[in-house]
Amino acid sequence: MTQAVFNFCAGPAMLPASVMKQAQAEMLDWQGQGVSVMEMSHRSKPYMQMAAEAEQDLRDLMAIPSNYKVLFLHGGGRGQFAGIPLNLSRSADSADYLLSGQWSRGALAEGEKYLHCKVAGEPNLIDGKVALPPQSALNINPDAAYFHYCPNETIEGVEFSYIPDAGHVPVVADMSSTILSQPLDVSRFGVIYAGAQKNIGPSGLSVVIVREDLIGNARQETPSILDYGLAVKHDSMYNTPPTYAWYLAGLVFKWLKSNGGLTEMAKVNRAKADTLYRFIDGSDFYRNNVDDNCRSKMNVPFQLADDNLDSKFLELSDAAGLKALKGHRIVGGMRASIYNAMPLSGVQALVDFMADFEKKFG
Ligand SMILES: *Cc1c(COP(=O)(O)O)cnc(C)c1O
C-alpha cells in the first residue's frame, strides 16, 4: 500500500479526494455528452445548467441574501484588488484599508493606483506576539468609498475574530483563504471576494459576492472583464469564464452540502486548529508567534527552536507524506495550511510527526 499523503500547501491547495475522483471519472465524458466539460461551450445548455446550479449551491451554503449577486470571474484574488476600486469609487474618493499582513498590504498598494487610500488600522505586538487591532482601535472615515480588510491573512496566519463595523461605509473583504470555512453573516458586507485556489477549487477563478446597490457604477475606464455590471448582465459569461474551475468549484460546493455545510466545516476546522495549536503550545521545541485571539484556523505558521533544523524537518516530513510545510519566507519556519479539504487525520499525522521529530532532534 502506498502511504497516505497529506498536502499542506497554502495554495493552490488540496481538494477533497471524492471531488478529484469524480472529476477523474467524468474527465473524458461529462454527463454522457461524449466530451469533457472543459471542451464544451459555456453557452451550451448542460454547461449553463451546471453553472447555475453551482451558484445556487453556493447561495444555499452561505445563505446569501437575495439582494446580493454572485459572480464567477477571472483573475483570482489580485484581480479584485483592482476590481474593487474601479467598481466602487471615483479617483477623487478615498478608501480605508485595514492592514493585517501581506495580502491586505497588496490590496492597498493596488488600490493606491486608483484613489487615495488611508490606513484604518495595523497589527501590533502583545507580549511579543502578533495581534490584530480591535474594533475600538480602528480609524474609520465616514466619507470613505469603502472599507477593505482581509479576514484571514494566509501568510502570517492571523484571523479576525470579529467583522469590523464601518457604519454606512461598505465593508469589502478579501476572503480568499477563509471563505466557506465557517458560517458567515453575508449581510454585514458590501463585497466579499475570493481567489478560488484555497477553499473553492482550482486557481484562475475568483468568486465575488456583491450587494446590488454597489453594482453598475464602474468607472468608465474599467476593463470590461472586471466590470461587475457587465458580469451581472451576462451571468458571468461576458467573456469565456474559467469553465473547468467553475465546474470543479461546483463539485466542491456539492461536497460541502453533503458533508453538513458550513456549520459542520466550522466544527471540524475548529478541531483541526485546536489539535495543532494545543500541541505547539505544549511544546518547548515549536512555537507560534500569534496572539491567541487572532490565530488563523486555516493557516498555521510555526517555528522550530533551532532554525538550523528547518531543512531536516522539511526533508523528513516530505518523506513521511506530509507535503508543502515550508513557511513563507516573510515569516520563516513552517506553515501548515489546513483548509476544508484537510481531514482531522491529516492534522493528527502532522502532530505525530512533529512529536517524533522533537524526540529525535529536540
Ligand atoms: C492567495 C491569496 C490572494 C491572491 O490570490 P491570487 O489568485 O494569486 O491573485 C489574495 N488574498 C489572499 C488572502 C490570499 O490568500
User: What digits encode the pLDDT tens for the residues 174-232?
Assistant: 999 999 999 999 999 999 999 999 999 999 999 999 999 999 999 999 999 999 999 99
Ligand 1 touching residue 103 (CB < 6 A): yes
**Dist CA 178 CA 290 (whole Å):** 17
Residue 185: the pLDDT is 98
CA 121 / ligand 1 centre spacing (Å): 21
The string of pLDDT tens digits covering residues 130-166 is 999 999 999 999 999 999 999 999 999 999 999 999 9
Contact status, residue 264 vs residue 67, Cβ threshold 8 Å: no
287 and 269 in contact (C-beta within 8 Å)? no
Residue 152 main-chain phi, psi, to 5 deg:
-140, 115
* pLDDT at residue 143 in the model: 97
Distance 72 CA to ligand 1 centre (A): 15
Q: Which residues carry a binding-site annotation for pyridoxal 5'-phosphate? A: 77-78, 103, 154, 174, 197, 239-240
Domains of the chain: 19-258 (3.40.640.10), 260-361 (3.90.1150.10)
Q: pLDDT by residue (tens digit) across 331-341? A: 899 999 999 99
**pLDDT mean by block of 10 residues, the chain; 362 residues:** 86 97 97 96 97 98 98 97 98 98 98 98 95 97 98 98 98 98 98 98 97 98 98 97 98 98 98 98 97 97 96 98 96 96 98 98 91
Q: Determine whether the shortest distance from the Cβ of 104 to ligand 1 is under 6 A.
A: no
Task: Give 3's contacts (C-beta < 8 A, 6+ positions apart).
Answer: 320, 321
pLDDT at residue 2, as a whole number: 64
Give the per-residue pLDDT at 362: 87
- Is the Cβ atom of 81 under 6 angstroms away from ligand 1? no
CA of 206, closest atom in ligand 1 = 7
Q: For the chain, what's the residue count?
A: 362
Tell me which residue has cell 453553472. 51
**Whole-model pTM?**
0.98
Residues 6+ apart with CB under 8 A from 266: 181, 182, 183
Cβ of 150 closer than 6 Å to ligand 1, yes or no, is: yes
Q: Is 337 in the pocket of ligand 1 (CB under 6 A)?
A: no
Radius of gyration of the chain (CA): 21
Q: Tell me which of 148, 174, 299 to substitute to probe ligand 1's pocket, judged by most ligand atoms within 8 Å of the beta carbon.
A: 174
Whole-number Å distance between alpha carbons of 355 and 316: 13
Q: Are 121 and 166 in contact (CB under 8 A)?
A: no
CA nearest ligand 1 atom 3, residue: 77
Looking at residue 1, its pLDDT comes to 52
Pairing type for strands 286-287 and 299-304 reads antiparallel
